[in-house]
Structure formats: C-alpha cells, structure tokens
Structure 1
C-alpha cells in the first residue's frame, strides 16, 4: 500500500481583471503529493525527525514548529525564522530538501500545476473548476502509479482543504471517470486502486504533509522566479528533489510536472 501526503501552493480562485491587484487570487495553483510505501513509513518518519533535529541544531528552528516554504522566503509573523537572514533561511530550505531527498530516496513526488494566466483547461466563471480539474488530474496520476506498481492500493492524506468537494470527486471517479482518447472521444476508467475517502490532516501535526508544502512552494519559485531571490538560488531549490520526482506522470515535462 502507498500513502500520498498532499499540500498545495497558491489557491484555486479565478483571476479577475476587474479586481485590484491586491485582491487577486494567486496566478498559480499547485498540488504536490509525497508518495510513501507503507513498509517505509516508520523509517521515513524517523528520518524526518532526525532532519528536524539537525535543523534545530544548525539553525535553531524548533522541532515542533511547522515548516512552511512560503514562510522561509517571507517569514512574516514567524518569530523563529525572523531571527535568520534571507541567506540562512535559504540554506535551511536547501538543507531540508537535500536531506529529505537522500533519506526518503524510495519515495516519489507527484506535481500538478495550473497557470491561470495561460490555462490548458476550459476555464469558466466558476472558481471551483480549477480545484476540481487539478484534483481530478492529480487523483488520476496517483491511480496510474498504483496500477503500474503491480496494482497496489493507496490512500490520500491531504492538508485541510475543500474536504467535501474532494471526497465527492473521488467517489464519482470510482464509478464514472471519462478519460480523453488521443484522437478524440473518451473512455471510462473508474478509479479502483485508491481506497477510502481522502483523509484531511492538520499540516502542523504531520511532517509528511510539511514535506509536500516545502516542495510545492519550491516548484512555485522555480516556475515564477523573482529577481530579488535569484541571487540566493531560490528558483533552483526544486531541482534538489529531482531524484524522487514521479517523472512518468507527464510525457511532456522532463521532471514529470503535469501542467494544466
């Protein structure tokens, strides 16, 4: 069995040109899932605890505090991070992703990215469409992974999100799941390998969900680089996890990122 821990970067709101820039939703929406085999779970949890202890020793970051990628870049009200300058926070980010990739080397990371300014899906005024379409593709890629690994079963653990919508979507996909054919039309391929409803977790209480948060934000920084951060190589952080990326998730992206 495989457990997939999911977090997101950005939000699923539709861009509205009539709104003030400060009221606009994010230009992106990213879903990231850390896929862990049940036989590796205990070993990987111990590894994450050791990694966090090392961050406390080197950077003074409390082991029980939640680790969020966005706060490492802009600490805002995070007092523990505000004591570190930008260079040190970037080094902490680097050390975490590098250590995670080395210690959780049999895990796989699935990424789905929506660029709202240049979407590849059919957008409407219903802001829920972005979330539903992204999750549908996300669930399907996890299902594909499970089938290719000897028809394994899997379960989804997600940071607190739109639980009702995601639960209904997965239940629907178990009965009716139209898949586009290469040359038009669709065929139904009901989801069979993902068991139970998605389980919602408070990211503060899950090191695994925090890993997904860190990777999701690093992907955002890679896809939408900002000049002031390039001197610290923030846009290159995501490449540290390249060895564990689920590259078969996309045939058009070398790192397996599914762009919608």
Structure 2
C-alpha cells in the first residue's frame, strides 16, 4: 500500500501535477525527514514548524512567516531559496520516496489529473501495490461559526461538486482491476505537512519544466535554483514515466 500526496503548479499556458509516493512502511521515515527540515528552518531562520510552507510565496519573497520582525527582515529572497533547497534535500534523504510529475498544455488541473491517475494506476499495477491519493483541496468550509445551517450545508455541497472531476478520474478506472483506491482524499495544505511538501516539489518541477520546454511559457523566466532543487530528487523519479523527471501529456 502506498500513499500519494499531490499538488499542482504552473501558469495559464500549462499545468503541472506532482505526487509524492510513499509506502506505508516508509511513512514515518518521510515524516521524520520532513520534520527534521522544519526544525532546521526554525533554528536557522525562525520559521515555526506549524507555519504553512507555500513555495510560490516562499520563493517570491511574499509574506512574513518568521517568528520575529528582525528574522523576517533577514529572511531575504536568497535565504528563502536556500530554505526551499534545504527541504528538498531533506526529502531526498527518504530512500523509499518516489516522485511522479505530469504536465501538459491546459488551464484545467483536472485534465492533467486524469492523466496523472492513469500513470499512477499503471505504475501500481506493475508494482503490485495499491495507492490512496491525498489531494490539495478543501473538503468543506474552514469555520462554520458565523454561518447558518443552510449556508454551511451549501459550502459543503459546493466543495463536493468542485471535487467531481477528480472523483470521476478514479471512478473511470476498471473496478475489478483498479489499484488506485477510493476517491481522492481532499486535504487542506494548512494542516498537512506532506501536501506542503508536494507543493514545494511541484513548484520546483514547474520551473525545471520551464527550462526544458521554454516554448510553453515564453514570457516567463524560470528560477534556475528551483530546477536544481528538483534534480536533487532525480533518484526518486519514477523510472519510465517521462523524461527529465516530468511526463509530458501530448495534445
């Protein structure tokens, strides 16, 4: 049995989905590596372990995630890129971690997700395992304190409707032979360390892909350090699924 934590990145011209695959017996090892990195972030730059890591904000210098004003002032863009790289190096320490990135020319994440699930199904079948997917998304409203019962119910129903394309990608698999089990489990990144980890890797994969396929995003400038960070995980890329660590979906 494997768990797969998934998040997306990209821009209007194309989207990237990245999944972190971990066998059930390696789950605690991955968490140990990640939390060790979080402790280093707090010790080095004052970023607390419970602060949400969002790669786009981190690398672009947005927000003030540190504990004190002086630490935030010292947390410059080079320091933030170094912090991102540190977390990639921590993930690379987990021997059983595997990474699958799928991308294509589309504005719809759900379209890439369908191809992502198909590739994951093929890999799981070849490796005689089952996979449960955790995907970045809200399962419902964060706080219903100020909502009426009817308003809260509508928020929940909307969240369920928004997840339909992702459920369909699972349910379209042959029932008797499928290895990707259940519907995707929606997890809010604010409360999931591994969804945050998937976000960090997906953002790095996107910049790595921009260097490989500059024609897709001609007006955007990739951050070379992100490509380097993604290549730190090259020993963990799924063999046979894409080149340069990304499986490109042809139009």
- Measured against the shorter chain, the TM-score band is 0.7 to 0.9
Residue 108 of structure 1 contacts residue 244 of structure 1 at CA under 8 Å; is this kept in 2? yes
Corresponding position: 1:7 with 2:7 = yes
Structure 1 pair 9/256, CA: closer, same or farther in 2 (3 Å)? closer
Corresponding position: 1:192 with 2:178 = yes
Residue 19 of structure 2 contacts residue 100 of structure 2 at CA under 8 Å; is this kept in 1? yes
For residues 99-248 of structure 1, the aligned pairs below 5 Å read: 99-102=90-93, 104-116=94-106, 130-149=108-127, 151-160=128-137, 162-174=162-174, 192-224=178-210, 229-230=223-224, 233-248=225-240
Residue 249 of structure 1 contacts residue 258 of structure 1 at CA under 8 Å; is this kept in 2? no
Question: Number of residue pairs matched?
Answer: 214
Corresponding position: 1:92 with 2:83 = yes
| Alpha-carbon distance between aligned partners in 1 of 2:65 and 2:35, rounded to the nearest angstrom | 21
Task: Give the structure-2-normalised TM-score.
Answer: 0.77
The Cα offsets for residues 89-122 of structure 1, whole Å up to 9 and x where unpaired, read as 11111111012111x2211000011234xxxxxx
The Cα offsets for residues 22-58 of structure 1, whole Å up to 9 and x where unpaired, read as xxx6222111000010111122222221221111111
Query: Which blocks of at least 5 consecutive residues in structure 2 are unaligned?
Result: 139-161, 212-219
| Alpha-carbon distance between aligned partners in 2 of 1:39 and 1:45, rounded to the nearest angstrom | 11
Residue 28 of structure 1 contacts residue 115 of structure 1 at CA under 8 Å; is this kept in 2? yes
Deviation at 1:254, TM superposition (A): 4.0
| Alpha-carbon distance between aligned partners in 1 of 2:222 and 2:134, rounded to the nearest angstrom | 35
Give the ranges of 4+ consecutive aligned residues of structure 1 lying more than 4 Å apart after TM superposition. 225-230
Corresponding position: 1:47 with 2:30 = no
Query: Which blocks of at least 5 consecutive residues in structure 1 are unaligned?
Result: 11-24, 117-126, 176-189
Structure 1 pair 246/228, CA: closer, same or farther in 2 (3 Å)? closer
Corresponding position: 1:249 with 2:244 = no
| Alpha-carbon distance between aligned partners in 2 of 1:35 and 1:5, rounded to the nearest angstrom | 7
Residue 3 of structure 2 contacts residue 24 of structure 2 at CA under 8 Å; is this kept in 1? yes
Residue 117 of structure 2 contacts residue 169 of structure 2 at CA under 8 Å; is this kept in 1? no
Structure 1 pair 27/228, CA: closer, same or farther in 2 (3 Å)? closer
| Alpha-carbon distance between aligned partners in 1 of 2:119 and 2:223, rounded to the nearest angstrom | 32
| SS of aligned partner of 1:258 | strand
| SS of aligned partner of 1:44 | helix
| Alpha-carbon distance between aligned partners in 2 of 1:77 and 1:192, rounded to the nearest angstrom | 42
